[in-house]
């Protein structure tokens, strides 16, 4: 008992020393450039939003925030890289519903989405647009559904890869209209949009961030927004309720995470930088121009992100598993 009592002060001293080191690191953080990992390829909304957040956070943190795209396996390679990174605040992640919720039900992960990452902040949520190649004969959503049902042997729908929101949303769209057709995976939303514009594929569920420029240019057709209300950047596009597919809603969100064990003081600095970036009028306007609905301030805390992600996993994993969506990895 005496030996144990003698060892106790040393243990306490070690804990206090470790806490002191963390506090000292947080005081000088950041002292060099920071890497923001985007776990998907360039050209998609995650990449676009990541670059906007990097721009806004750089101004607050006083150090460059370098965006690095680490794509593959539905974003799991990039997420895994951050989960294994040093917890020093110099590597963090922008993820989304597909990479940090759906992937856990689709892939056999070598990390835990809830326990191997530290939540930093929610960013924004967005719906999809249902769009098609411009030469497709349907001129509204009802006509599109009829055409897809009549041409299911040859019709094709693109997506950004297995487990991505466009893949899961696309399967749900097929279920909602009670038909099946070919699903074509791509490495990014940008690549699938290129093929839609070229007429190689027929249909996409894609974000306004990627779709609207092509809609405005007359290169593709837009039929509906997968939300309860119209979007400000394209108020002329009806909702699925209005267009003939009532109750079909699909939106997905983005957020920031750091590696497990990142000191709370550093997480707090990253959170503060994210909140200030989202409060910046120029950044807010750019996000809203991409049809992003920014979360209110009381939902931008790490604790709010942890609770939100946990609730999303509880909601979506049973739906994804019952649909039989599974990666062969």
Q: According to the model, what pLDDT value does residue 21 have?
A: 55
Domain boundaries, the chain: 2-126+253-322, 129-243
Q: Averaged over 312-325, what is the pLDDT?
A: 92
Cross-strand partners of 159: 185
pLDDT bracket for residue 17 (50, 70, 90): low
User: In this model, does residue 95 exceed pLDDT 90?
Assistant: yes
Residue 18 has pLDDT above 70, yes or no: no
Residue 22 vs residue 233, higher pLDDT: 233
Could you give the CA distance from residue 115 to residue 96 in angstroms, rounded to a whole number?
A: 16
Instruction: Tell me the mean pLDDT in the region 140-163.
Output: 95
Long-range contacts, 66-72 (Cβ 8 Å, 24+): 66/33, 66/34, 66/35, 66/36, 67/36, 67/38, 68/35, 68/36, 68/37, 68/38, 69/38, 69/40, 69/41, 69/42, 70/37, 70/38, 70/39, 71/39, 71/40, 71/41, 71/187, 71/188
Q: Which fold has domain 129-243?
A: D-Maltodextrin-Binding Protein; domain 2 (3.40.190)
- Cα separation of 163 and 120, whole Å? 23
Q: Would you give the distance in Å from CA 135 to the centre of its chain?
A: 31
Contact criterion met (CB below 8 Å) for 210 and 159: no
- How would residue 19 be classed by pLDDT, with cut points 50, 70 and 90? low
Q: Give the C-alpha separation, 183 to 201, whole Å.
A: 9
Q: What is the DSSP letter of 239?
A: B
* DSSP designation for 13: H
Cβ pair 292, 53 in contact under 8 A: no
The answer, yes or no, to whether residue 133 has pLDDT greater than 80, is yes
At 49-79, the pLDDT tens digits run 999 999 999 999 999 999 999 999 999 999 9
pLDDT: which is higher, 152 or 26: 152
Task: State mean pLDDT over 245-264.
Answer: 97
DSSP code for 92: E
pLDDT of residue 329: 46
Average pLDDT over residues 33-46: 94
Q: Which helix (H) or strand (E) holds 25?
A: helix 2-28
Q: What percent of the chain has pLDDT over 70?
A: 91
Mean pLDDT value across residues 252-275: 98
The reported pLDDT for the residue numbered 207 is 92
Burial 74-101 (b: 16+ CB within 10 A, else e): bbbebbbbbbebebbbbbbbbbbbbbbb
Q: How confident is the model at residue 39 (pLDDT cuts 50, 70, 90)?
A: very high
Torsion of CA 239, 244, 246, 251, to 10 degrees: -40
The rounded distance, in Å, linking the Cα atoms of 152 and 203 is 12
To the nearest 10 degrees (0 to 180), the angle between helices 189-198 and 208-216 is 20
Q: pLDDT class for 192, splitting at 50, 70, 90?
A: very high
Question: What is the model's pLDDT at position 101?
Answer: 97
How high does pLDDT run on average in the chain?
92
Mean pLDDT to the nearest integer, 172-201: 94
Mean pLDDT check: name the lowest of 63-77, 101-115, 235-249, 315-329: 315-329
Q: Which of 40, 36, 132, 47 is nearest to 92 (CA)?
A: 36
The predicted structure's pLDDT at residue 91: 98
Name the pLDDT band for 15 (thresholds 50, 70, 90): low
Residue in 199, 315, 197, 195 with CA at minimum distance from that of residue 253? 315
For residue 238, give every residue at least 6 positions away whose Cβ sits within 8 Å of its Cβ, in sequence order, or none: 141, 224, 225, 230
pLDDT of 43 strictly over 60: yes
CATH of 2-126+253-322, one of 2.40.50.100, 3.40.50.740, 3.30.420.40, 3.40.190.150: 3.40.190.150
62: left (phi > 0), else alpha (psi -120 to 50), else beta?
left
| Higher pLDDT among residues 153 and 25, named by residue | 153
What is the distance between the alpha carbons of residues 209 and 242, in angstroms, rounded to a whole number? 22
Q: What is the pTM of this model?
A: 0.86
């Amino acid at each position: 008992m005496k030996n144990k009592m003698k060892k106790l002060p040393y243990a306490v001293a070690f804990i206090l020393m470790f806490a002191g080191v963390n506090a000292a690191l947080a005081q000088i953080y950041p002292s060099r450039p920071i890497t923001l990992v985007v776990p998907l390829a360039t050209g998609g909304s995650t990449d676009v939003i990541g670059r906007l957040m990097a721009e806004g956070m750089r101004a607050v943190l006083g150090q460059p925030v370098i965006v690095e795209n680490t794509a593959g396996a539905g974003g799991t390679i990039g997420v895994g890289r951050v989960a294994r990174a040093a917890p020093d605040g110099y590597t963090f992640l922008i993820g989304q519903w597909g990479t940090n919720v759906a992937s856990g039900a689709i892939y056999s992960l070598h990390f835990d989405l809830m326990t191997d990452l530290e939540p930093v902040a929610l960013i924004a949520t967005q719906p999809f647009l249902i769009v098609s190649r411009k030469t497709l004969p349907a001129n509204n959503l009802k006509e599109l559904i009829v055409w897809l049902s009549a041409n299911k042997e040859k019709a094709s729908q693109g997506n950004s890869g297995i487990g991505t929101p466009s893949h899961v949303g696309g399967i749900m769209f097929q279920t909602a209209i009670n038909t099946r057709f070919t699903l074509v995976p791509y490495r990014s939303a940008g690549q699938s949009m290129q093929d839609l514009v070229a007429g190689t594929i027929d249909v996409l569920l894609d974000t306004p961030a990627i779709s609207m420029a092509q809609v405005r240019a007359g290169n593709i057709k837009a039929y509906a927004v997968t939300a309860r209300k119209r979007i400000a950047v394209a108020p002329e596009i009806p909702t699925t309720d209005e267009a003939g597919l009532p109750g079909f809603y699909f939106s997905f969100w983005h957020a920031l995470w750091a590696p497990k064990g990142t000191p709370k003081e550093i997480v707090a600095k990253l959170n503060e930088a994210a909140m200030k970036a989202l409060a910046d009028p120029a950044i807010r306007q750019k996000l809203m121009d991409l049809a992003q609905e920014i979360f209110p301030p009381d939902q931008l805390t790490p604790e709010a992100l942890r609770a939100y992600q946990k609730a999303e996993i509880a909601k979506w994993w049973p739906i994804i598993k019952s649909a039989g969506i599974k990666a062969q990895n």
